[in-house]
A and B are shown apart, each in its own frame.
Chain A
Amino acid sequence: MKSSVARRSMTKRERKELREGLIFASPWIIGFLCFLLVPLVYSIYISLTNYNFLNTPKFIGIANYQKMLFKDPMIWHSLRITLIYALVSVPLQMIFAFILALLLNMPLKGVTIFRTIFYVPSLVVVVASSLLWRQMLNTDFGIINYILSLVGIPKVHWLANTGSIITSLVIIHLWGCGRAIIINLSGMQGIPTQLYEAAEIDGASKFRQVFAITIPMLTPTIFLNLLTGMIGAFKSFAMVNVLTQGGPNNASKFYMLYLFENAFKNYRMGYASAMSWLLFLIVAILTLMIFKSSNSWVHYSGGVDS
């Protein structure tokens, strides 16, 4: 009795606060419902139909999923190359961006100019940079093969097969790693200098300090880069589509390209929705794995900032 009175008297204020809070948060809540939750639920339904945009959707059970998992080799092909790309490009970019950030964190004269230089490529509009690289990587008249020929390396067919296309994409990706560099750099600048001073007194070399201090202290940043990098790699679309359009002969048909093709070229909406759910599942599992593993390697120092 007493508690219910107390609750009611609290609810009045609370209710007002709740109403106000919800009103201010309503743009996001509406967006969440309209642009994420409803489409997600709707896509479950579509994925169970044979909807092709012209017919009325007919319920076909899990046929799309069965076909996807057991009868469509292109799914596995596209998943495989996407996974290979992710496994190669993400760690490489993380290491590269880390080393560059280390260099850019040194007390060198003019270091801010270098920081700008390495950041600028990440500002280039993706389609423009893809068009540019497409020409630079051209086998016959591209500048890259020309430079390689100066040091005696024969012509490379950059955009000819899966391996070379992934290599090209990784190179372009490294070129545009400015964001990752700056994220690392800001993480490094948050490391208390006393740690390095103490290590200096103990006689630890610069090299050892990197492994004993910088990397452990930077693990939260590394963790974030890993997570966003992985998800980003699985969503790769614009660059590949402009660079090769999935070709030649599906050699670079990344998962998103195949999904796009099914949905918006062949209008197999049901099948494309099933593919979306597979993508969702894979990303969720990867995220979960990275999160689970983070307990053992991500080091949160208490109190520095939160």
Chain B
Amino acid sequence: MTVVKAKAEYHSMKSQRRIGHALAYIALCILAIIFVFPIFWLLSCSLKTYESIFMYPPKLIQFPLQFINYPDALTYETFPFLTFILNSIKVTLVSVVGAVLSSSLVGYSFSRLKWRGRNATFMLVVLTMIIPAEVVITPLYLLYNKIGWIDTYLPMIVPYFCGKAFYVFMMRQAMMGIPIEMDESARMDGCTSLQTWWIIIMPQAKLALIAVGIMALQDQWNNYLEPLIYINSQMKQTISVGLTYFSGSYQTQWHLVYAAAVLVVMPILILFAFMQKYFIQGVVVSGVKG
């Protein structure tokens, strides 16, 4: 009797679970469609003619597909979009190198070297993570103006070489997890701190280095406020601000704006396709309890 009852209960539990899973699937599918739709729409608009973008009712896909929009966007006369992209690539790559190098050096100091005041200084690093960088844009602008950094990339790049607090935090957390015996034996073999950092710690912290690199890449590629403030010459502008030039002009060529937007988004998406793990890694570490 009790066995039958238990069995029935088990079966009802199982069917309940199945219903639960089905509901979860349905919810996920609906939400997934909603989430994907804007990206699909961006692609679709980038392949339309100027007129069909403003058609009402809007068409999901307009044939024939206007692949010509892409070369057109790159060679658009009024705004040198290709130059914007190249500028962004330049600034971003240099920033990534700076972020990886500086944050690993500083992270090494905060995780492997013992010095008086280390932990208090690290608390300061954590504290500065909470201060919005926007608080100092006005004085920074004035200071940069005094030393002639306006209309150069230095205000955007140099901070990346100075170990941004969040990247330092990430590197330190990652390096804390490397067994201390590794650098002890390196020391025994007569390695200096610098050698230990380069030979022992850097290879061990590879995952975190890539994660920091990707975050720096995303941050700088996305950077909008700083180029908007610091860059005056159009030829020096980066893509985030460049895109808004495109869309803010008198007769906006919207089909080209969308093609350009796709070109801006694509590098990150392609990189994500190859390095999913590292993207997620960065986010996961940032979720570590403070």
Q: Which of B122-130, B180-188, B202-210 contacts A (4 or more CB under 8 A)?
A: B122-130
Which A residue's beta carbon lies closest to that of B160? Answer: A31
- Complex formed: what's the CA distance from A24 to B254 in Å? 49
Chain B residues in 8 Å Cβ range of A143? 41, 58
* Structural contact, B113 and A17, CB atoms closer than 8 A: yes
* Structural contact, A273 and B118, CB atoms closer than 8 A: no
- Taking the complex as formed, is A151 at the interface, i.e. its CB lies under 8 A from any CB of chain B? no
Chain A residues in 8 Å Cβ range of B261? 125, 128, 131-132
- Taking the complex as formed, is B1 at the interface, i.e. its CB lies under 8 A from any CB of chain A? no
Cross-chain contact of B197 among A24, A118, A273 (Cβ < 8 A): A24
Chain B 100-143 against A: per-residue CB contact (8 Å), 1 yes, 0 no? 00100110111001111110010011001011101111111111
Which B residue's beta carbon lies closest to that of A107? Answer: B21
* Structural contact, A175 and B38, CB atoms closer than 8 A: yes
* Structural contact, B128 and A36, CB atoms closer than 8 A: yes
Chain A 237-273 against B: per-residue CB contact (8 Å), 1 yes, 0 no? 1100110000000000000100110011000010011
**Assuming the A-B contacts A117-B32, A127-B243, A141-B54, are A40 and B116 also in contact, with contact meaning beta carbons closer than 8 angstroms in the complex?**
no
Cross-chain contact of A131 among B243, B280, B286, B289 (Cβ < 8 A): B243
Chain B 1-31 against A: per-residue CB contact (8 Å), 1 yes, 0 no? 0000000000000000000110011011001
Which B residue's beta carbon lies closest to that of A219? Answer: B289
**Assuming the A-B contacts A25-B106, A32-B128, A140-B56, are A125 and B265 also in contact, with contact meaning beta carbons closer than 8 angstroms in the complex?**
yes
Which A residue's beta carbon lies closest to that of B271? Answer: A123
Chain A residues in 8 Å Cβ range of B268? 123-125
Cross-chain contact of A280 among B58, B116, B135, B280 (Cβ < 8 A): B135
- Complex formed: what's the CA distance from A34 to B155 in Å? 11
* Structural contact, B162 and A31, CB atoms closer than 8 A: yes
Cross-chain contact of A132 among B42, B117, B143 (Cβ < 8 A): B42
**Assuming the A-B contacts A24-B193, A108-B25, A135-B45, are A32 and B115 also in contact, with contact meaning beta carbons closer than 8 angstroms in the complex?**
no
* Structural contact, B121 and A25, CB atoms closer than 8 A: yes
- Taking the complex as formed, is A62 at the interface, i.e. its CB lies under 8 A from any CB of chain B? no
* Structural contact, B240 and A46, CB atoms closer than 8 A: no
* Structural contact, B128 and A116, CB atoms closer than 8 A: no
Chain B 225-256 against A: per-residue CB contact (8 Å), 1 yes, 0 no? 10001000000000111011001000000100
How far is the CB of A256 from the nearest CB of chain B, in Å?
Answer: 6
How far is the CB of B38 from the nearest CB of chain A, in Å?
Answer: 6
- Taking the complex as formed, is A195 at the interface, i.e. its CB lies under 8 A from any CB of chain B? no
- Taking the complex as formed, is A179 at the interface, i.e. its CB lies under 8 A from any CB of chain B? yes
Size band of the A side of the interface? 35 or more
How far is the CB of B216 from the nearest CB of chain A, in Å?
Answer: 14
Chain A residues in 8 Å Cβ range of B102? 27-28, 31
- Taking the complex as formed, is B224 at the interface, i.e. its CB lies under 8 A from any CB of chain A? yes
Q: How many A-B residue pairs have CB under 8 A?
A: 259
- Taking the complex as formed, is B50 at the interface, i.e. its CB lies under 8 A from any CB of chain A? no
Chain A 24-42 against B: per-residue CB contact (8 Å), 1 yes, 0 no? 1101111110111011101
Cross-chain contact of B24 among A103, A129, A136 (Cβ < 8 A): A103
Count of chain B residues with a beta carbon within 8 Å of a chain A beta carbon:
91
Chain B residues in 8 Å Cβ range of A273? 138-139
- Taking the complex as formed, is A43 at the interface, i.e. its CB lies under 8 A from any CB of chain B? yes
- Complex formed: what's the CA distance from A141 to B53 in Å? 8
Chain B residues in 8 Å Cβ range of A175? 35, 38
- Taking the complex as formed, is A65 at the interface, i.e. its CB lies under 8 A from any CB of chain B? no
Chain A residues in 8 Å Cβ range of B254? 135
Chain B residues in 8 Å Cβ range of A272? 138
* Structural contact, B21 and A106, CB atoms closer than 8 A: yes
- Complex formed: what's the CA distance from A141 to B55 in Å? 7
* Structural contact, A123 and B218, CB atoms closer than 8 A: yes
How far is the CB of A93 from the nearest CB of chain B, in Å?
Answer: 14
* Structural contact, A28 and B162, CB atoms closer than 8 A: yes
**Assuming the A-B contacts A17-B113, A141-B54, A264-B229, are A128 and B139 also in contact, with contact meaning beta carbons closer than 8 angstroms in the complex?**
no
* Structural contact, A133 and B284, CB atoms closer than 8 A: no
Chain B residues in 8 Å Cβ range of A114? 28, 32
**Assuming the A-B contacts A18-B115, A127-B240, A132-B38, are A182 and B110 also in contact, with contact meaning beta carbons closer than 8 angstroms in the complex?**
no
- Taking the complex as formed, is B272 at the interface, i.e. its CB lies under 8 A from any CB of chain A? yes
* Structural contact, A132 and B243, CB atoms closer than 8 A: no
Which B residue's beta carbon lies closest to that of A45? Answer: B139
- Taking the complex as formed, is A67 at the interface, i.e. its CB lies under 8 A from any CB of chain B? no
How far is the CB of B144 from the nearest CB of chain A, in Å?
Answer: 10
Which A residue's beta carbon lies closest to that of B285? Answer: A186
* Structural contact, B243 and A235, CB atoms closer than 8 A: no
- Taking the complex as formed, is A306 at the interface, i.e. its CB lies under 8 A from any CB of chain B? yes
- Taking the complex as formed, is A126 at the interface, i.e. its CB lies under 8 A from any CB of chain B? yes
**Assuming the A-B contacts A32-B124, A125-B265, are A106 and B134 also in contact, with contact meaning beta carbons closer than 8 angstroms in the complex?**
no
* Structural contact, B280 and A182, CB atoms closer than 8 A: yes
**Assuming the A-B contacts A120-B269, A132-B38, are A127 and B138 also in contact, with contact meaning beta carbons closer than 8 angstroms in the complex?**
no
- Complex formed: what's the CA distance from A126 to B182 in Å? 42
Residues of A within 8 A of B (CB): 14, 17-18, 20-25, 27-32, 34-36, 38-40, 42-43, 46, 51, 100, 103-104, 106, 108, 114, 116-121, 123-129, 131-133, 135-136, 140-143, 146, 175, 179, 182-184, 186-187, 206, 220-221, 224, 227, 231, 234-235, 237-238, 241-242, 256, 259-260, 263-264, 269, 272-273, 276-277, 279-280, 283, 287, 300, 305-306
10 A-B interface contacts by CB (under 8 A): A21-B118, A35-B159, A40-B136, A104-B28, A108-B28, A129-B38, A182-B287, A276-B135, A279-B132, A306-B289
> Which 7 A-B pairs give the minimum distances between C-beta atoms?
A31-B162, A21-B115, A24-B109, A183-B287, A28-B163, A39-B139, A43-B139
